Structure 1
């Protein structure tokens, strides 16, 4: 199928620019995926896909989804939003075949977001090693975050969630809950992390005051880290992430609780960062990508935000750190989108959310 994308007037903190719509065709590469969550491209043209229910799936270089899941995945706690989350390749994957997996671990009464490294040999994961788990443990099965991004020095960032019922932890430097952490690839702490050496602070912390980080990217050209996170009813955010900064949750928010109750009367307070963009009502941002490619030159440099409640991919144009335009893509597919990726071939790849999820490829119509 193909469709000319519908333009959406930029809203909430963004001025409207005239943007050129792209003609595209959407191809289905794989279907029958069980709650697919994350996608990684292998150097040989294959792909790895996580399913939240705990499976890691392999698509070979010929584009064939293998019937049997990849073996060796660490034990995953699966319930509600809990499960297997991100798959990310080591920056030196071509040499070391190393991958990183984020996932929920533990039990219903005491669970964590966890991070493991492993070696992928083309069929199985070996040398699996848990290198980080969130402190403290929590009950329930919501708001884990789980997205991973690598910095130029090959340290990694892991975005986390507030555990839903634990939102006050997001303002505590003695807790990982509701933060972004920075780690060396062996799980050790970089010496230049912003909270190293501070009393009553966990040294892994990179930034605090987050609700549920569902998108995390490093923009090499802009030399910046960008993240997006779910708000409650409204107040989804895109943030420019700087080490040591506090992004406000739950002291400030543009959203209200699901019951309609006020979470905070404040949308801004001194010392707390403002988002580059916020969406009210909520579009439920999920995956996050920076599009780079020649197939859609009009999209080059755009942020792509997969959305669940919005059932679209929201394209966001930046001029520096100012949002100047937004565009709604793929509404006609009537799907919840869990992940979006800019492929090495210049195509855009999408994962649809659900028990019968699909891997889609977006290419020019002609």
Structure 2
């Protein structure tokens, strides 16, 4: 579970109408860190990031970083500039400014997409918007989508975004924590992955688009709180990492129309008693998709990357799953859609890990979720 960044809810414009620029020189934190197949250096790219949430890469080498409390930074050549122009963001508990991903055709259209919690002190929804960068500001802001069920603020927003090869996008939405069985309601966006066009519309080939008993945006449901999601560059499969309750953290392979069981089916336990989860009926059930892998001990997963390219050739095709409570990355070797090997990386070296992403140059970026957090880079040792 994430540590709350503030107890206040900021429902007004959160960022000042100026760009705040600071210098953050890259610094090698530890050199030649050994692992089973690769050695790497850990470099601090930027610090002064409080409860960072997501990393995104622009084609020109600049890096975007979000803070949950409502700041969006543009990092370039050691300079960290805060961009203004964000919409009003409801910051409370786990809610705030969340994921950020540039459009795959950013060079042509200039769009960046981001998720955030929208609302007031009584209720919030996860929302998706896009904007363009003009100097130190966001312009051409468009809200594209919001969840259909306002809920008391503070918990389980999900909010990872990926773009698919067909030009659509997926966005994860947590069960919101208030009433877990809502994740089994196919009319409720809570506890689902939604699939949208890049304009926020419903694709005409969504799995439930012709059903009167399902919200048409839903791509899969029965999820608790997905905070890691990637599209594998070779297989084009969608992999996610998902928070369980006490135990039951999952790696899932997403199927269109799939019901992933939460909370009717879970491998986790009740937080307080460690008994069976109160709403659970079984650990597995026909008609519900089993996880590919359960993270034991608890990982509290957030941030997921797939390794591709020449920087770390021995890790080609491996998944890197970040952990909050576990303060580590697990490198997972996948064969025939099964985890056949796992290795622990960076245990305790950067604190709680909120995001793990591979940059276009092949280096691995790691964002910590700490009040005095930082952005780090894993690069091959000489």
Q: TM-score, normalised by structure 2?
A: 0.89
Q: Which runs of 4+ in 1 moved over 6 A?
A: none
In the TM superposition, 1:202-281 aligns within 5 A as 202-259=215-272, 260-263=274-277, 264-281=280-297
Match of 1:311 among 305, 324, 327: 327
Q: Give the corresponding residue for 1:298.
A: 314
Shift of the alpha carbon at 1:121?
2.2
Whether the 8 Å contact between 1:40 and 1:47 is mirrored in structure 2 is: yes
Q: TM-score, normalised by structure 1?
A: 0.93
Q: Deviations over 1:114-167 (max 9, x none)?
A: 001111224211111111111111013100000000110110000110011221
Supply the distance in 1 between the matched residues of 2:348 and 2:238 (Cα, whole angstroms): 31
Secondary structure at 2:270 match in 1: coil
Q: Deviations over 1:78-108 (max 9, x none)?
A: 0110100001111111011001110001023
Q: Does 1:342 align with 2:355?
A: no
Whether the 8 Å contact between 2:173 and 2:190 is mirrored in structure 1 is: yes
Q: Give the corresponding residue for 2:182.
A: 169
Whether the 8 Å contact between 2:244 and 2:250 is mirrored in structure 1 is: yes
Match of 1:65 among 77, 80, 103: 80
Supply the distance in 1 between the matched residues of 2:225 and 2:293 (Cα, whole angstroms): 16
Match of 2:144 among 108, 131, 137: 131
Shift of the alpha carbon at 1:265?
4.6
Secondary structure at 1:146 match in 2: coil
Whether the 8 Å contact between 1:232 and 1:282 is mirrored in structure 2 is: no
Whether the 8 Å contact between 1:5 and 1:329 is mirrored in structure 2 is: no
CA RMSD of aligned residues (A): 1.2
Shift of the alpha carbon at 1:220?
2.6
Q: Which runs of 5+ in 2 are unaligned?
A: 1-29
Supply the distance in 2 between the matched residues of 1:226 and 1:352 (Cα, whole angstroms): 22
Match of 1:49 among 53, 57, 65: 65
Whether the 8 Å contact between 2:250 and 2:293 is mirrored in structure 1 is: yes
Shift of the alpha carbon at 1:348?
0.9
Secondary structure at 1:331 match in 2: coil
Secondary structure at 2:80 match in 1: coil
Shift of the alpha carbon at 1:36?
0.8
Supply the distance in 1 between the matched residues of 2:236 and 2:43 (Cα, whole angstroms): 33
Q: Give the corresponding residue for 1:14.
A: none
Q: Give the corresponding residue for 1:32.
A: 48
Q: Does 1:93 align with 2:106?
A: yes
Whether the 8 Å contact between 1:235 and 1:281 is mirrored in structure 2 is: no
Secondary structure at 2:208 match in 1: coil
Supply the distance in 1 between the matched residues of 2:130 and 2:111 (Cα, whole angstroms): 7
Q: Give the corresponding residue for 2:11.
A: none
Q: Give the corresponding residue for 2:19.
A: none
Supply the distance in 1 between the matched residues of 2:359 and 2:71 (Cα, whole angstroms): 22
Whether the 8 Å contact between 2:259 and 2:289 is mirrored in structure 1 is: yes
Q: Give the corresponding residue for 1:22.
A: 38
Supply the distance in 2 between the matched residues of 1:296 and 1:305 (Cα, whole angstroms): 16
Supply the distance in 1 between the matched residues of 2:228 and 2:256 (Cα, whole angstroms): 17
Match of 1:84 among 84, 97, 105: 97
Whether the 8 Å contact between 1:145 and 1:213 is mirrored in structure 2 is: yes
Secondary structure at 1:288 match in 2: strand
Match of 1:110 among 115, 119, 123: 123
Q: Does 1:364 align with 2:380?
A: yes
Supply the distance in 2 between the matched residues of 1:197 and 1:324 (Cα, whole angstroms): 39
Shift of the alpha carbon at 1:334?
5.0
Supply the distance in 2 between the matched residues of 1:231 and 1:125 (Cα, whole angstroms): 36
Q: Does 1:160 align with 2:177?
A: no
